[in-house]
Amino acid sequence: MDEGKRMTERSADIEHAARFLSKSELVAIPTETVYGMAANAFDEEAVKEIFRVKNRPFYDPLILHTNSIEKIEHWGVAIPPRLRRLAETFWPGPLTLLLPRSEKISDSVTAGLDRVAFRIPSHPLTHRLLEQLDFPVAAPSANPFGYVSPTSAEHVLKHFDDKIAMVLDGGACDVGIESTIVGEEDGKIIVYRLGGLSVEQIERVIGNIEIRTSSSKPTAPGMLVRHYSPQKELIVVDTQEEVEEHSVEKSAYILFMLEAPEFNLPNVIHLTPGGNHEKAARQFYQALRAWDDDASIKRIIVERLPDFGLGRAINDRLKRAAGAESKEK
């Protein structure tokens, strides 16, 4: 890979993206959830480059992206019946399935685990790109490890300009929060990461499922106590009293139903005055990054959402972004 000075192409040119990927280069791709840092998953050097550029530990496995169930099966990965039902219902979309891995999938992709994560994203540009490729692309979120995921080409370039071949610019992400990760263990359907597909939507198709996103014994770094974190101090609140109590001069706010105190009024992003969780998810990372990038802001105060639908996934990210009980950086 070229270590010298380079220019990162920013365009919507699928042919260019396909060519770069075929030549072991990294391309950031838009998906409906967040932007991914993509490489040819069958190219060991390219996969290693993902870990290097993101500063990502090798124990953190990667999600593979493609455009059809047939291709997944062609690569030797079988989809068990109940997971297949979910795939047929929700793909293309914000669902990742943990599937029994095949020999074609390398240890660097799965971090040596016996399952491989697959997803068929719905973003039209990326969907068309994936149609052209005869390999899956490995793509973790396109942020430095542990930082907030990117929901626009600008977010990607902020950290990776001149470090990757290209960002395929597909505009702002529609869902705005990472995919929901689902697998099957001992006949039980389990959600390992809450995300852009709600638990309620999944249960409507498959009945009761188990949520196992606890951080006590993480099997995935997305489950770590501190992850998805901004640089600034972040405080999660539930009530107007807590807003007042934690407000200092130069606090910024991401609020849903509550109000900021008078003296900080310009520093408020109201996620969804209408109370719509989908809209809140779409704007959430954008808002977090906006305040994190604003040098005048000292502390970010965020309101927890009602715990249903995508509110659950956002609250999960909030907890991890704040580092839960431990507030250390």
Least CB distance to Mg ion at residue 54 (A): 9
HEC sequence for 150-184: CCCHHHHHHHHCCCCCEEECCCCCCCCCCCEEEEE
Measuring CA to CA, which residue among 232, 200, 226 is closest to residue 302?
Answer: 232
DSSP code for 149: P
Considering only 140, 170, 176, 311, the residue that binds ligand TXA (CB under 6 A) is 140
The listed partner (Mg ion, ligand TXA, none) that binds 66, CB under 5 to 8 Å by sort, is: none
Applying CB under 6 A, the span of 2-10, 213-221, 264-272, 293-301 interacting with ligand TXA comes to 213-221
Least CB distance to Mg ion at residue 140 (A): 5
Please state at what angle helix 277-293 crosses helix 153-160, rounded to 10 degrees. 30
* Residues β-bridged to residue 299: 233, 251
Matching residue, tokens 């105190």: 261
Instruction: Please tell me the distance from the alpha carbon of residue 140 to that of residue 60, in angstroms, as a whole number.
Output: 10
Measuring CA to CA, which residue among 252, 253, 254, 256 is closest to residue 273?
Answer: 256
- What CA–CA distances, in Å, run from 219 to 113, 195, 294, 317, 320? 10, 17, 34, 17, 15
Least CB distance to ligand TXA at residue 281 (A): 12
**Does 96 engage in binding with ligand TXA (CB under 6 A)?**
yes
Applying CB under 6 A, the span of 15-23, 32-40, 204-212, 229-237 interacting with ligand TXA comes to 32-40
**Does 209 engage in binding with ligand TXA (CB under 6 A)?**
no
Measuring CA to CA, which residue among 198, 193, 169 is closest to residue 183?
Answer: 193
Considering only 20, 25, 27, 36, the residue that binds ligand TXA (CB under 6 A) is 36
Applying CB under 6 A, the span of 60-68, 69-77, 80-88, 257-265 interacting with ligand TXA comes to 60-68
Considering only 43, 178, 184, 316, the residue that binds ligand TXA (CB under 6 A) is 178
Contacts with ligand TXA: how many residues (CB under 6 A)? 27
**Does 113 engage in binding with ligand TXA (CB under 6 A)?**
yes
Applying CB under 6 A, the span of 17-25, 173-181, 228-236, 279-287 interacting with ligand TXA comes to 173-181
Applying CB under 6 A, the span of 115-123, 153-161, 256-264, 314-322 interacting with ligand TXA comes to 115-123
Instruction: Please tell me the distance from the alpha carbon of residue 23 to that of residue 130, in angstroms, as a whole number.
Output: 15
**Does 181 engage in binding with ligand TXA (CB under 6 A)?**
yes
Instruction: Please tell me the distance from the alpha carbon of residue 2 to that of residue 14, in angstroms, as a whole number.
Output: 21
**Does 233 engage in binding with ligand TXA (CB under 6 A)?**
no
**Does 141 engage in binding with ligand TXA (CB under 6 A)?**
yes
HEC sequence for 266-314: HHEEECCCCCCHHHHHHHHHHHHHHHHHCCCCCEEEEECCCCCCHHHHH
The site map against Mg ion for 141-160 (x = CB under 5 A) is x-------------------
Least CB distance to Mg ion at residue 282 (A): 17
Considering only 221, 233, 242, 270, the residue that binds ligand TXA (CB under 6 A) is 221
- Show Cβ contacts of residue 295 under 8 Å, excluding neighbours closer than 6 positions: none
Query: CB-side exposure of 135: number of CA atoms within 13 Å?
Result: 21
Kindly list the residues in this chain that would bind ligand TXA in the complex (CB under 6 A): 31, 33-34, 36, 60-63, 96, 98, 110, 113, 115-117, 119, 121, 139-141, 178-179, 181, 219-222
